[in-house]
């Protein structure tokens, strides 16, 4: 049945309700399963086809984040006898993992849409970096999906328990699973999130073993894999595009290329969720706009001095907070102008001769 096929791809009654106006126009629902440079692959009840956004959709989009991404549900106009179907609209996303795209301009990039769970994969080798994980957690919480940390390559680590404890400190309340995708060890721990019709996205640096994990879960080698470089333990990109893959048990997995950088795109809610303990401490600061620096009555600084909060944890929070503030000012001309005015006033006051 067509409806059953859509359900297997994650289609819900809420999606059907939102799609009703498009159905009246003779369009059909489809899910984007792969993104390439000049076209997309989509799956509908009729099967797989190539598609491209309509001219009106591209024209009306205020930014690239409004164009179809892997995981999106779209309204598709099927064209028999043509090479490609046409995507007329993108349905509202339940969740979206968004980062600032690489480059000088501040542009949002959707890595995966309509995701239920984000597997943040980090290697227990040279890839191990708690600070980078904190950055990924900010975007994961911002996305609306539930994060799960996968510590891969347990077979090459000698201090697994200590490293797991360290990650549990920087990811409070987030499940942490230790696995070896190469040898198939510990994978039973991630089964609760691999539910039929539910979507999981894999995110991590190059060489952390995402492709190996995909192959292990599929039961055959679909994704090409490479060994990490022995000199710096970094990997090469083996996945060249984002792709939604159906697993044998019915779960849906979005594999992504390794991320060389993960710049923030957030309204701040993800930061507060990723650093929940700091946000909670801040409620006791004397000033509501406390910057957790030298202000008197700062409860966060007090926690650091009393060794209830790691200094590196606070430093990471302040760094990411400053990055988000810079992005906000860059995006908002009025705030940018106000910020320039504020610094002009500061410089002017510094040039004024002191009276005494």
Q: Where are the domains of the chain?
A: 2-90, 96-255, 275-351
Q: How far apart are CA 175 and CA 173, in angstroms?
A: 7
Closest CA to 255 of 155, 181, 184: 181
Provide the pLDDT confidence category of residue 158 given band limits of 50, 70 and 90.
confident
CB neighbourhood size of 47 (10 A):
9
Residue 242, class by beta-carbon neighbours within 10 Å (0-12 exposed, 13-18 middle, 19+ buried)? buried
What average pLDDT does range 85-107 have in this prediction?
Answer: 81
Instruction: Indicate whether 162 pLDDT > 80.
Output: yes
According to the model, what pLDDT value does residue 235 have? Answer: 44
Supply the mean pLDDT for the chain: 85
Its pTM stands at: 0.82
Pairing of strands 199-204, 117-123: parallel
Quick check: do 96-255 and 275-351 share a fold?
no
Q: pLDDT per residue over 297-319, tens digit each? A: 999 999 999 999 999 999 999 99
CATH of 275-351, one of 1.10.3720.10, 3.90.400.10, 1.10.10.10, 1.10.40.50: 1.10.40.50
Architecture of domain 96-255: 3-Layer(aba) Sandwich (3.40)
According to the model, what pLDDT value does residue 258 have? Answer: 58
Q: pLDDT per residue over 190-248, tens digit each? A: 999 999 999 999 998 888 999 899 999 998 886 555 554 445 444 444 545 789 999 99
Q: pLDDT per residue over 271-301, tens digit each? A: 899 999 999 999 999 998 898 988 899 999 9
Instruction: Indicate whether 79 pLDDT > 60.
Output: yes
CATH topology of domain 2-90: OB fold (Dihydrolipoamide Acetyltransferase, E2P) (2.40.50)
Pairing of strands 73-77, 28-35: antiparallel
């Amino acid at each position: 049945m067509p409806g059953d096929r859509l359900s297997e791809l994650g289609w819900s009654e809420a999606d059907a309700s939102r799609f009703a106006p498009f159905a009246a126009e003779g369009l059909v629902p489809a899910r984007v399963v792969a993104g390439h440079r000049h076209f997309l692959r989509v799956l509908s009840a009729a099967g797989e086809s190539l598609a491209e956004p309509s001219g009106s959709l591209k024209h009306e989009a205020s930014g690239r984040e409004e164009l179809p991404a892997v995981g999106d549900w779209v309204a598709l106009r099927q064209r028999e006898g043509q090479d490609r179907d046409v995507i007329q609209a993108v349905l509202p996303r339940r969740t979206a993992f968004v980062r600032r795209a690489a480059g000088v301009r501040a542009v949002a990039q959707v890595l995966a849409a309509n995701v239920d769970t984000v597997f943040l994969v980090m290697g227990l080798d040279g890839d191990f970096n708690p600070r980078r994980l904190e950055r990924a957690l900010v975007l994961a919480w911002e996305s609306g999906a539930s994060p799960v940390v996968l510590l891969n390559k347990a077979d090459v680590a000698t201090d697994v328990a200590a490293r797991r404890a360290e990650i549990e400190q920087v990811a409070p309340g987030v499940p942490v699973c230790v696995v070896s995708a190469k040898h198939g060890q510990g994978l039973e721990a991630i089964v609760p999130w691999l539910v039929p019709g539910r979507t999981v996205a894999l995110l991590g640096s190059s060489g952390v073993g995402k492709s190996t994990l995909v192959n292990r879960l599929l039961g055959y080698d679909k994704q090409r894999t490479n060994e990490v470089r022995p000199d710096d333990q970094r990997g090469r990109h083996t996945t060249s595009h984002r792709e939604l893959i159906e697993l044998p048990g019915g779960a849906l997995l979005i594999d992504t290329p390794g991320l060389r950088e993960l710049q923030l795109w957030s309204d701040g809610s993800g930061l507060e969720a990723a650093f929940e303990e700091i946000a909670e401490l801040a409620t006791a600061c004397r000033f509501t706009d406390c910057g957790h620096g030298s202000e008197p009555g700062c409860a966060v600084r007090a926690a650091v001095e009393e060794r209830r909060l790691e200094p590196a944890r606070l430093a990471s929070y302040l760094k990411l907070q400053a990055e988000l503030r810079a992005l906000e000012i860059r995006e908002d001309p009025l705030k940018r102008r106000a910020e320039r005015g504020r610094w002009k006033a500061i410089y002017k006051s510094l040039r004024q001769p002191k009276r005494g």
